[in-house]
């Protein structure tokens, strides 16, 4: 079974790189290949210039992984999770203890050191997983939906920490379904679907290229549709909304208001979400 094919991208040292796509697009599989876990049937992949088939342990020694599902070890406390994980990287005990302490502080969990992970809230678990991913002082951090299900406070804390990590020169690869998050964090990103590659660029470039600078939205009524068709203006239907991409939103809004006699017209900047929906469609995924 082929999960992904014909994808091609490279991540530069020190950048935040996003992998976006609907569920089943192949993001997790792509990340698992970089993590030296899933095998490739063909194609080339190098991580730190090494081949995951030949040097998995060397590569994994320098990677930190935040998985989508929590897989913290319920048999240990928060501190115990970090220390146990440190051993898998062959980190000496006293060094591991020092790192665990400073990482607990980094994710604001110092007072939970001796608490069982079962007792943590979702946001705390996510933060602890981030701390665990940093225990080996990784050059590359791979995050699969790092802020899934978090409240805004916790999301902002994670974002702030990720920016801090980038400023330390670490490379970050992440997936997310929150496109505002991707726009905010990523230097560059790719959008993929059905296991293949659709677009690549910085968030601003992609918005400019695929969605234009402004988006005009109005109600989806037969009159508006007839009027836009008459005027020869291309539009897109999004449920009960009509969306028109425009370089000159004011003129367009005026046209809509004057010619189509429509009272509700909204103009707003185009976003990455517009790009995403344009490229991957609106059909619901499994």
| Contact (CB, 8 A) for 88 and 81 | no
Q: Does 35 bind another protein (CB under 8 A)?
A: yes
CB of 130 to another protein, least distance (A): 13
Interface with another protein (CB under 8 A), residue from 74, 149, 269, 281: 74
Report residue 44: phi and psi, to 5°: -115, 145
Q: Does 38 bind another protein (CB under 8 A)?
A: yes
Distance (Å, whole) CA 216 – CA 112: 49
Q: Does 201 bind another protein (CB under 8 A)?
A: no
Interface with another protein (CB under 8 A), residue from 87, 250, 268, 285: 87
In the block, tokens 């990720």 appear at 162
Interface with another protein (CB under 8 A), residue from 25, 72, 120, 252: 72
**264-267, long-range: CB within 8 Å, 24+ apart, which pairs?**
264/218, 264/219, 265/216, 265/217, 265/218, 266/216, 266/217, 266/218, 267/214, 267/215, 267/216, 267/217
CB of 1 to another protein, least distance (A): 8
Interface with another protein (CB under 8 A), residue from 23, 71, 137, 229: 71
| Contact (CB, 8 A) for 130 and 37 | no
Q: Does 181 bind another protein (CB under 8 A)?
A: no
CB of 82 to another protein, least distance (A): 12
Q: Does 61 bind another protein (CB under 8 A)?
A: yes
Interface with another protein (CB under 8 A), residue from 6, 13, 40, 88: 88
Q: Does 73 bind another protein (CB under 8 A)?
A: yes
| Contact (CB, 8 A) for 204 and 184 | no
The rounded Cα 37 to chain-centroid distance in angstroms is 20
Q: Does 214 bind another protein (CB under 8 A)?
A: no
Collapse the DSSP code of 189 into the 3-class scheme (helix H, G, I; strand E, B; otherwise coil) and give the result.
strand
CA atoms within 13 A on the CB side of 62: 14
CB of 29 to another protein, least distance (A): 9
Interface with another protein (CB under 8 A), residue from 37, 45, 204, 238: 37
Report the interface residues with another protein, using CB under 8 A. 35, 37-39, 56-58, 60-61, 63, 65, 67, 69-76, 84-85, 87-90, 136
């Amino acid at each position: 079974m082929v999960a992904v094919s014909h994808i091609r991208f490279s991540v530069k040292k020190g950048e935040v790189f996003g992998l976006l796509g609907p569920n089943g697009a192949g993001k997790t599989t792509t990340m698992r290949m970089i993590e030296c876990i899933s095998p490739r049937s063909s194609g080339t992949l190098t991580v730190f210039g090494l081949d995951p088939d030949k040097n998995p342990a060397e590569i994994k020694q320098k990677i930190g992984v935040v998985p989508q599902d929590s897989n913290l070890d319920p048999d240990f406390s928060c501190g115990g999770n970090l220390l146990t994980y440190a051993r898998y990287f062959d980190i000496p005990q006293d060094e591991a203890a020092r790192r665990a302490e400073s990482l607990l502080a980094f994710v604001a969990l110092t007072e939970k050191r001796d608490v069982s992970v079962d007792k943590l809230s979702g946001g705390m678990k996510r933060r602890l997983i981030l701390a665990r991913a940093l225990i080996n002082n990784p050059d590359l951090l791979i995050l699969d939906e790092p802020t899934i299900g978090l409240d805004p406070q916790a999301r902002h804390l994670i974002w702030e920490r990720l920016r801090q990590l980038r400023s330390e020169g670490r490379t970050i690869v992440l997936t997310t379904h929150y496109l505002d998050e991707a726009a905010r964090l990523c230097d560059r990103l790719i959008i993929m679907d059905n296991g293949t590659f659709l677009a690549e660029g910085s968030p601003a470039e992609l918005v400019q290229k695929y969605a234009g600078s402004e988006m005009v939205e109005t109600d989806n009524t037969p009159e508006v549709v007839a009027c836009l068709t008459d005027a020869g203006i291309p539009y897109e239907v999004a449920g009960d909304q009509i969306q028109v991409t425009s370089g000159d939103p004011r003129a367009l809004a005026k046209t809509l208001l004057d010619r189509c006699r429509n009272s509700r017209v909204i103009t707003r900047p185009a976003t990455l979400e517009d790009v995403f929906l344009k490229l991957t469609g609106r059909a619901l995924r499994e």
